[in-house]
Structure 1
Amino acid sequence: MRVLAIDTALSNCAAAVLDDGKDTACFDSIGEEIGRGHAERLMDMIGEVMAETSTAFSDLDRVAVTVGPGSFTGLRVGLSVARGFGLVLGKPVVGITTLAAIARSSAPRDAGGPLLVALTGKGEEVYCQEFTPFGDTIGDAAVRTLSDLAATTSKRIRLAGSAADSVASSLGLPLEQIVSRSAFPGIREVAELGLLADPVICTPSPLYLRPPDATPQTRGRIERQ
């Protein structure tokens, strides 16, 4: 199976083509930590990995795209492009969470404690999800505060993600329990999860864990009769 993977959810902008076939196996990726400007860079990156792997769009079996948690603007860019390809090509598009992709690359794969992937949010908030030591999900993704995590999280937990240091400090954990400080997922892990994902379950819908900060304007509005 050949998949095009796209990630624009956080500060990174990346694309990859991965094929796990015995006779057609290939992988090529490109990524850049740009902060903003995903829309201006993404299509060039896709064109580059498609060319490097000699892949025509008709060769793709599916498209995988990160669905969050992430920035509102970044998510819209990746999801719009992925959905557009899926519609034109008639191929499934699967959504991969940034937390699951980070867990896949960071999971210790041993008999130790579980893994908490935590990304920096606003103030004391973190976007987080717990995984087994092998990267399988345990609970749902959620917004938690550092104080809440400190009161409810096992001291055996291992940590990954951009908020790992903050969580470790709140829980009083040694730095040895931080296995990764990744601020964004690796595009290869997004592609690998894209190959495994069930299109019926892993839909390309944005994962928003908190409502937007903007609120509808009410002053000066004319009420409808």
Structure 2
Amino acid sequence: MLLAIDSSAGTSVAVVDRAYGVLAEASVDDNMRHAEVVGELIEAVLRESGAVVSALAAVAVGVGPGPFTGLRVGMAAARTFALAAGIPLLGVVSHDAIALGAYGGEGWGELLVTTDARRRELYWSRYEGLDSLGLPRRAAGPALARPDEIPSAPRRIDATAVSAASLGLLAERVRASGRAAEPIEPLYLRSPDVTLAVPKRVTS
């Protein structure tokens, strides 16, 4: 059983179990209130699922792609929870979770996943079905592009949210497979707006 958190598009938190599925999930779509709601959502899903912290095996967190401010809130919350509970923190590409939910029981066919990157751009990833372990096969991405630059695919999902339940179930499959989780590094895919100023040389 694990706790899953994603804040790459809205804020979503869930408690999932490989054997019993989704035990609880709570989400807020507002992209401006990640810091205000993430703690409340964690408390809500733990209460609804009846899970105690000592029973959790890990925390799964969506590493994006996503905007800087929102993404770092969820990752900071997940890191803090995992550290306090003394359990592993597992990174999951948020688009992989969307792909898993989109494929459902039919794990075949090409699929394009996009999410809003703001500034008239989109994050995108292309998939080629699920592998024998039920893990999405990502063929390209995540990447950042203007809408007219994104490759076409027979099936496309323009997602407005990422389900922490799907993210958690994917993390459970990764754990069971023995594969390494994604690095705990945020996928911003865009240079920060603020850069350090270069000190001017003073001459006499």
Normalising by structure 1, we get a TM-score of 0.76
Q: Closer, same or farther in 2 for the Cα pair 1:53/1:143, shift >3 Å?
A: same
- Higher normalized contact order (CA 8 Å, seq sep 6+, divided by chain length): 2
Q: For residue 102 of structure 1, what is the amino acid of its counterpart?
A: I
State how many pairs are aligned.
194
User: Is 1:202 equivalent to 2:202 in the alignment?
Assistant: no
Partner of 1:117: 113
Give SS of 2:81's match.
Answer: helix
Where does the alignment leave 5 or more consecutive residues of structure 2 unmatched? 131-135
Q: Distance in 2 between matches of 1:110 and 1:59?
A: 31
Query: What is the deviation of 1:110?
Result: 6.3
In 1, the alpha carbon distance for the partners of 2:19 and 2:169 equals 13
Deviations 1:23-62 (A, max 9, x none): xx66111111122121111111111111112211111000
1:139 aligns with 2:140: yes
Partner residue, 1:6: 5
Deviation >4 Å, runs of 4+? none
Q: Where does residue 133 of structure 2 map in the other structure?
A: none
Partner Cα separation in structure 1 for residue 107 and residue 5 of structure 2: 30
After superposition, the Cα gap between the structure-2 partners of 1:157 and 1:15, relative to the gap in structure 1 and judged at 3 Å, is: same
Aligned partner of 1:128: which letter?
W
Compute the displacement of 1:201 (Å). 3.6
Q: Deviation at 1:147?
A: 3.9
CA change 1:125–1:55 in 2 (3 A) is same
Assess if the C-alpha contact under 8 Å between 1:93 and 1:203 holds in 2: no
| 1:103 aligned residue (99, 106, 119) | 99
- Tell me, in whole angstroms, the C-alpha distance in 1 between the residues paired with 2:191 and 2:182: 21
Instruction: Please state which structure has a larger fraction of its residues in strand.
Output: 2
Select 2:168's aligned residue among 191, 205, 214: 191
Q: Is 1:66 paired with 2:67?
A: no
Partner SS, residue 5 of structure 1: strand
Instruction: For 1:124 and 1:14, locate their aligned partners in 2 and report how far apart those are by CA, in whole Å.
Output: 24
In the alignment, residue 38 of structure 2 is paired with which amino acid?
A: L
Mapped partners of 2:119, 2:42: distance in 1: 35
Q: CA 1:34 to 1:146, structure 2 compared with 1: closer, same or farther past 3 Å? A: closer
C-alpha contact 2:127 2:137 (8 A) present in aligned 1: yes
SS at match of 1:95: strand
Partner Cα separation in structure 1 for residue 50 and residue 191 of structure 2: 42
Task: Please tell me the residue identity of whatever aligns with 1:46.
Answer: I
Question: 1 CA distance for matches of 2:14 and 2:63?
Answer: 16
1:123 Cα offset (Å): 4.9
Structure 1 residue 111: Cα displacement: 5.5
Judged with a 3 Å threshold, the aligned counterparts in structure 2 of structure 1 residues 146 and 44 are, in CA distance, closer, same or farther, namely: closer
Residue 80 of structure 1 and its aligned partner are, at CA, apart by 1.0
Q: Do the aligned partners of residues 42 and 223 (structure 1) sit closer, same or farther apart at CA in structure 2, a change above 3 Å counting? A: same
1:158 aligned onto 2:158:
no
Seen in structure 2, the aligned counterparts of structure 1 residues 88 and 138 have a Cα distance that, compared at 3 Å, is same
Residues 94 and 197, structure 1, Cα contact 8 Å, conserved in 2: no
- TM-score w.r.t. length of structure 2: 0.83
Q: Which has the larger radius of gyration?
A: 1
Q: Which moved more, 1:207-216 or 1:39-48?
A: 207-216
1:164-189: CA deviation from partner (whole Å, max 9, x where unpaired): xxxxxxxxxxxxxxxxxx21212210
Q: CA RMSD in A?
A: 2.5
What 5-or-longer segments of structure 1 have no aligned partner?
A: 162-181
